[in-house]
Amino acid sequence: MTRATSVAGDPAARAVELLSSMGVTMPAPGSLVARTPITGAALTTLTASSGADVDAAIGKAANAFRDWRTVPAPQRAAVVRRLGELLREHLHELGELATLEAGKIGAEARGEVQEMIDVCEFAVGLSRQLYGRTMASERPGHRLMETWHPLGVVGVLSAFNFPVAVWSWNTAIALVCGDTVVWKPSETTPLTALAGHALLRRAAVEVGADPEIHQLVQGAADVGERLVDDERVALLSATGSVRMGRTVGPRVAARFGRCLLELGGNNAAIVTASADLELTTRAVVFAAAGTAGQRCTTLRRVIAHTDVVAALGDRLCDAYHQLRVGDPLEDGVLVGPLINGRAYTSMQDALARALADGGELLCGGERVIVHGEESYYVRPAIVRMPAQTEVVREETFAPILYVLTYYDFDDAIALHNQVPQGLSSTVFTRDQREAERFLAADGSDCGIANVNIGTSGAEIGGAFGGEKQTGGGRESGSDSWKAYMRRATNTINYSTELPLAQGIEFSPVSS
């Protein structure tokens, strides 16, 4: 255990100041405690939504949907465009609030808000590109086409590690598609949710739209469960653990609702004998240690060729020793706190299991005391493993990087794919054949597969999501908008005849 310097002032007063600057009126105090992982202290308390509150919020969203769905998509985009402008105006304030509430360093927190701005721009452009298609009909005098229509109320369950960005991915797209939104954020980040909600409703009012198109409910898991089970919620988009997804998916399916799941990741990098080790080291360190290892896209496994594993391990440990762990409000800090004590315990348990399995701790893993015993800072850890044991196959939401070795590239791909998660992946190589093989059908089985870049930091233009236990959902870019709409196939007969498909003859009525 080591100690680090810190610069924490009064985070509770600062949080109120930041919220006020964004036009947020503090709600009445209650039992829901907003804490900062920077010190472990309470920022404020809020009143959790009751069952009746959730039911009313869903009802308001459903009522607003009746009119919102008929507004032309480019006009709906005006709300999202204005939201993006407000986010630009308050980028630093919302970013600092995310730092206070989620513990992110300033650069990453501001990057999260920039991501929100980017997805707003994407959604505004998308509002004029919700394309259907016209297909050739086999019947003369007929036109065959498909059209896309708003789906209904979209429920969004988001996690603490990206307290506003993931909400914006879903909400910006859902709104331009003509849906309304009910948002249930993580109970550990209620204040950033208040800010996001306030900015969106302000945007709606300023462009003359109904602010009831967006609703916010706050509380623990029981609040989210009401969204899961309510038949008025047409689509439930849930970001969280695999365990959560195992519960949510079947319950939504049981009522024939739609589900978009973004669950765990156990992301790996294959480092080949030809890899540029300097580039690889930079990419691995950010992907593995950024956000204190608390990203679904965090790099958790390195599968390195036997010829380079020792040199790579040395480079990584050298870089890890230079990582400054401490108060994320302090300049120069690169690794902030874990979200809470449970995360710290989970990390220490995983390290103990890895060492019991024959692993060798190369560096890190120890606790760093920054603001006393109520906050949890750790040095990112690197563990050399003799095999891909059960603890390596699991996702531990903390900065642990397991290093495995391979000799044959086919074995590396097999090792890469032998985990239940399938979110993000990468290969570091200067061999085009290896790069192309990794991206091929028998290569990486993940939803995101990269070459010579880390597993995290996805751009909003590409659809984000994964396979296997990651849930199969896709958010943000590409054609992910289709998840938020319903498709209709239309056949128009503009002739005076009534030919049937497949040439069927059926004419009981004489002319």
pLDDT in tens, 375-431: 999 999 999 999 999 999 999 999 999 999 999 999 999 999 999 999 999 999 999
pLDDT tens-digit map of 253-304 = 999 999 999 999 999 999 999 999 999 999 999 999 999 999 999 999 999 9
Mean pLDDT, rounded, of the chain: 96
Q: Is the pLDDT of residue 5 over 50?
A: no
Which of these is catalytic: 262, 330, 395, 475? 262
The Cα–Cα gap between 81 and 116 comes to 11
The domain ranges of the chain are: 10-263+471-488, 267-461
Q: What is the pLDDT of residue 508?
A: 80
The Cα–Cα gap between 255 and 276 comes to 51
pLDDT tens-digit map of 55-94 = 999 999 999 999 999 999 999 999 999 999 999 999 999 9
Q: Is the pLDDT of residue 4 over 60?
A: no
pLDDT tens-digit map of 460-481 = 999 999 999 999 999 989 999 9
Average pLDDT over residues 209-223: 97
Asked whether 289 and 323 are in contact (CB, 8 A), the reply is: yes
User: Which residue is associated with the tokens 């994964």?
Assistant: 466
Q: What is the DSSP string of 304-316?
A: EETTTHHHHHHHH
Q: What is the pLDDT of residue 511?
A: 56
Query: 2 pLDDT band (50/70/90 cuts)?
Result: low
pLDDT above 90: percentage of residues in the chain: 94
Neighbours of 155 (CB within 10 A): 31
Query: 354 pLDDT band (50/70/90 cuts)?
Result: very high
pLDDT tens-digit map of 95-139 = 999 999 999 999 999 999 999 999 999 999 999 999 999 999 999
Q: What is the pLDDT of residue 429?
A: 98
Q: What is the pLDDT of residue 188?
A: 96
The Cα–Cα gap between 498 and 385 comes to 70
Q: What is the pLDDT of residue 507?
A: 78
What's the CATH fold of domain 267-461? Answer: Aldehyde Dehydrogenase; Chain A, domain 2 (3.40.309)
pLDDT tens-digit map of 429-451 = 999 999 999 999 999 999 999 99
The one-character DSSP state at 167 is H
The Cα–Cα gap between 258 and 234 comes to 6
Of the candidates 21, 344, 377, 455, the residue with the CA atom closest to the CA atom of residue 195 = 21
What's the CATH fold of domain 10-263+471-488? Answer: Aldehyde Dehydrogenase; Chain A, domain 1 (3.40.605)
Average pLDDT over residues 50-54: 98
More confident residue, 396 or 503: 396
The Cα–Cα gap between 322 and 399 comes to 15
Average pLDDT over residues 237-248: 96
Is 101 assigned a catalytic role? no
Q: Is the pLDDT of residue 510 over 80?
A: no
For the record, the structure tokens of 323 come out as 């990582």
Longest dimension (CA), the chain: 94
Asked whether 303 and 458 are in contact (CB, 8 A), the reply is: no
Q: Is the pLDDT of residue 173 over 70?
A: yes
User: What's the pTM?
Assistant: 0.95
The Cα–Cα gap between 228 and 221 comes to 10
